[in-house]
Structure 1
Amino acid sequence: MKMKTAVLMAAVLAGGAACFAAGAAELAKVENWPRWRGPQDNGSTEAGRYPVKWSGTENVLWKAELPGKGCSTPIVWEQRIYVTAPVAGQDALLAFDWAGKALWQTTVGAEKPGKHRNGSGCNPSPTTDGVSLFATFKSGNLAAFDFTGKVLWRTNLVEKYGRDTLYWDYGISPVLTEKFVVVTMMHQGESWLAAWDKRTGALGWKVARNYKTPVENDHSYATPIVVRQAGAEVLLVWGAEHVTAHAAATGEVLWSVGDFNPGGQKNWVAVSSPVLAADVLVVPYGRGARLHGVKLGGSGDVTATHRLWKREDTGTFVPTPAAYKGKVYLVRDRGEVECLDPVSGKTEWTGQLPKSGANYYSSPAIADGKVYAAREDGVVFVARVEGKFEVLSENNMGERVIAAPVPVGNRLLLRGERTLFCIAAQ
């Protein structure tokens, strides 16, 4: 099959340290970024001030060498940074303090390296509920940790359920409900989502999720979103040309929306994850040429009533959209930037980041009225998105960047293939 990109986000997101002396008052203001797309699952924060320009000598507070290649996005909890990486052929979770000092690294089983240049064995990002940490890997290793790095429980999904048949490298991040850590697998063959008790590791439920699609369209790399409807937790899952809503307690399908590919096009794999804004799920599809707005709720098949709008002239294939102050922002693979109203689906403005032979595969982050977008060649662009679009700077990290930027506590974390950078205006 012909596929122009050699990537998985996960879409889809990091030696010595020059320590920055932060006072206790500043550390107390550090927010949390507990999962891949942040506390609101939308890739943005409305708090803090963030840098515009940096270089090897300017505004780089510290950088920490990582033990191996990875594409996962770091998370932040209570002044600690957690990121996955391979360590001597083993899958591992690593911890750093807010000054860049390595605190611990814990391995959980043999690594299965990535097949592609822009993939790795640790594409999925870790997550936390503030009680435990959770991480999964391409190898099938799934583990829970405490905040000292002790493994609380672990299992291997490949050993239990078989190898994936994905063309690209597995990259769906685990998501958390009140009781469970949930993992999805959508590929050719038996697709499923399953939930493990966060504290014990016991399997709570596992349900099949199979839809007949054209070639490769049953493959998905999109991370689910957890929402509340009628007071209950619901999992929103995108893949195999369907959005499905599942009861978090049981996995039961509550409602679904299909008909995303009426023409039966092949190789419309779902890489980019949806984003929720103004109670509308904005779903990219069709290799960047389609975008749908889905109303939440209902019962059964609500395809005919809950698709609010669809676009056939825009979308994004790999980078997941961000939502910020009620608007949705796309950074497309070739650097086009677009601001949309999520309710109407109408474009409010467009812009363009600099093009090169490299694509934009990292999912953008928005903070302080600016979008942070990393090109695969390691150049990170900063552009104003409030008022008018304006490119403010370009910053070369010196290594490939696939992971999403993390703006938290007035600092920007950037995970390159082998280095974790911390950027802030000093």
Structure 2
Amino acid sequence: IIWEKRIYVTCPIEDQDGLLAFDAAGKELWRKTLGALKPGRGQRVGSAANSSPLTDGEVIVTYFKSGTVTCLDLDGKSLWQINLQEKYGKDMLWWDQGTSPIFAAGNVVIAVMQTDGESYLVSLDRKTGKEVWKTTRKYETGKESGDSYTTPHVVKIGGIEQIVTWGGDHLTGHDAKSGKLVWECGGFNPEKTGMQRVIASAVVDGDLAVVPFNRGDAMSAIRLDGRGDVTKSHLAWRNDAVGADAVSPVLNDGKVYVVKDGGPQRGRVTCLDAKTGKQLWESALPKAPQVFYSSPVLAGDRFFCVREDGMLFSGKVTDQGLAEIKSHALEEGVIASPISADGRLIVRTDKHLFCFGEK
């Protein structure tokens, strides 16, 4: 993440969970070890430190596969630390944990969603780390389908600050102050088919959430102004021709941008009308055997995404599709999503940080 002139990166440091801070020129300012890491499963697309850090400009919050949550000041001094697995139960996810923490109602909120073991939302006091509330979020699903690696959103609908969470075959809204369930939406996997774990996060714009599901084969939009079970009442649209499995969509200015991350159509970029789900255009990036794990980013009228082999693509967004598509080989593996700030694009590979600026 970037805050003002600093870049913060979570990563393993030897056998420890770690956090690094860099200045805008890429100089390391400090590094902090935060406790023993829980090793990743060893696959090339994950680690013990998949989650992004979180900051409000005063503190930084980190969360790791080990279950350790740490709050630090901007100079790396630890303010408090808690381990969710020691307090609430162990990690039972099939793959490496990927949910990032969020701020909601002034506190730190983390979602734990898994088929086996405890599934819940927990709010931690931003100043002390003490539990503010904890709400069970458990649904009956097929094998592995309760596992979720998504990050919730915070929205204000009907005067209530809500936490919108995607996982366990359900999209839900919880009151950020109390943790109470406001509404829930099912229907994404009515047959309770197994292996429907979710990786790509839902995206939110106003009172609408766009949800990728069915392992990249479908997307739906859900209105967020409901109460109770809204499965039948608040479906805005469904599109069974477009989707993404691991790559989260981008929702901007009433349009949804989706990168097909795998399969025969990998590298297809589709733009949908967010209100109707109607396809507006489709473009194709140069195809290769490699797939996408990194989510795309928009910066003005420029679209950026990175393939797993480190091929960085950029294109100009027009009403007809992507124009002026260019590529740049970083020659290092990439699963992290790029970020854009102050006219620069920051890309994290498995070995380095790269910074690109406008010519």
Q: TM-score range by the shorter chain?
A: over 0.9
Whole-angstrom CA distance in 2 between matches of 1:374 and 1:252: 38
Contact 2:108–2:123 (CA<8 Å) still a contact in 1? Answer: yes
* Residue of structure 2 aligned with 1:185, choices 108, 112, 116: 112
2:217 corresponding residue in structure 1: 289
Whole-angstrom CA distance in 1 between matches of 2:203 and 2:230: 19
**Matching of residue 108 in structure 1 with residue 41 in structure 2:** no
**Matching of residue 386 in structure 1 with residue 313 in structure 2:** no
Indicate the SS of the match to 2:128.
coil
**Matching of residue 249 in structure 1 with residue 181 in structure 2:** no
* Residue of structure 2 aligned with 1:212, choices 140, 144, 156: 140
1:8 corresponding residue in structure 2: none
Contact 2:297–2:304 (CA<8 Å) still a contact in 1? Answer: yes
Q: Shift in Å at residue 347 of structure 1?
A: 0.7
Amino acid at match of 1:207: T
Whole-angstrom CA distance in 2 between matches of 1:243 and 1:338: 23
Q: Shift in Å at residue 311 of structure 1?
A: 1.6
Q: Shift in Å at residue 391 of structure 1?
A: 5.0
Q: Shift in Å at residue 278 of structure 1?
A: 4.9
Q: Which whole-Å deviations, capped at 9, do the CAs of 1:44-82 have from their partners, x for residues lacking one?
A: xxxxxxxxxxxxxxxxxxxxxxxxxxxxxxx11121111
1:229 corresponding residue in structure 2: 157
* Residue of structure 2 aligned with 1:174, choices 91, 96, 101: 101
Q: Which whole-Å deviations, capped at 9, do the CAs of 1:1-45 have from their partners, x for residues lacking one?
A: xxxxxxxxxxxxxxxxxxxxxxxxxxxxxxxxxxxxxxxxxxxxx
Question: Normalized against structure 1, the TM-score is what?
Answer: 0.81
2:195 corresponding residue in structure 1: 267
Whole-angstrom CA distance in 1 between matches of 2:105 and 2:4: 20
Whole-angstrom CA distance in 2 between matches of 1:290 and 1:126: 29
* Residue of structure 2 aligned with 1:303, choices 222, 231, 236: 231
Contact 1:353–1:391 (CA<8 Å) still a contact in 2? Answer: no
Indicate the SS of the match to 1:287.
helix
Indicate the SS of the match to 2:86.
helix
Contact 2:158–2:225 (CA<8 Å) still a contact in 1? Answer: no
Alignment of 1:10-409 (within 5 A): 75-115=1-41, 116-189=43-116, 190-333=118-261, 334-388=266-320, 389-409=322-342
For structure 2, list consecutive stretches of 5 or more residues without a partner in the other structure: none
Q: Shift in Å at residue 395 of structure 1?
A: 0.8
Aligned residues: 352
Whole-angstrom CA distance in 2 between matches of 1:340 and 1:207: 34
Amino acid at match of 2:51: P
Q: Which whole-Å deviations, capped at 9, do the CAs of 1:309-337 have from their partners, x for residues lacking one?
A: 11222211110000222211001111110
Contact 2:141–2:193 (CA<8 Å) still a contact in 1? Answer: no
Q: Which whole-Å deviations, capped at 9, do the CAs of 1:278-331 have from their partners, x for residues lacking one?
A: 531000000111111100112110111101111222211110000222211001
Q: Shift in Å at residue 387 of structure 1?
A: 3.1
Structure with greater contact order relative to length (CA < 8 Å, sep ≥ 6): 1
Whole-angstrom CA distance in 2 between matches of 1:160 and 1:104: 30
Moved over 6 A (4+): none
Whole-angstrom CA distance in 2 between matches of 1:385 and 1:324: 12
For structure 1, list consecutive stretches of 5 or more residues without a partner in the other structure: 1-74
Whole-angstrom CA distance in 2 between matches of 1:267 and 1:289: 14
Contact 1:142–1:155 (CA<8 Å) still a contact in 2? Answer: yes
Whole-angstrom CA distance in 1 between matches of 2:268 and 2:105: 38
Give the structure with the higher percent strand.
2
1:417 corresponding residue in structure 2: 350
Whole-angstrom CA distance in 2 between matches of 1:347 and 1:158: 43
Q: Shift in Å at residue 276 of structure 1?
A: 1.2
Contact 1:277–1:327 (CA<8 Å) still a contact in 2? Answer: no
Q: Shift in Å at residue 412 of structure 1?
A: 0.6
Amino acid at match of 1:398: E
Change (3 A) 1:354 1:251: same
Contact 1:277–1:328 (CA<8 Å) still a contact in 2? Answer: no
Contact 2:39–2:47 (CA<8 Å) still a contact in 1? Answer: yes
Indicate the SS of the match to 2:233.
helix
Whole-angstrom CA distance in 2 between matches of 1:264 and 1:80: 44
Q: Shift in Å at residue 179 of structure 1?
A: 2.1
Amino acid at match of 1:369: D
Contact 2:254–2:275 (CA<8 Å) still a contact in 1? Answer: no
Whole-angstrom CA distance in 1 between matches of 2:75 and 2:286: 42
Change (3 A) 1:337 1:381: same
1:49 corresponding residue in structure 2: none
Q: Which whole-Å deviations, capped at 9, do the CAs of 1:338-363 have from their partners, x for residues lacking one?
A: 00011101111111111111101100
Change (3 A) 1:137 1:195: same
Superposition RMSD on alpha carbons, in Å?
1.2
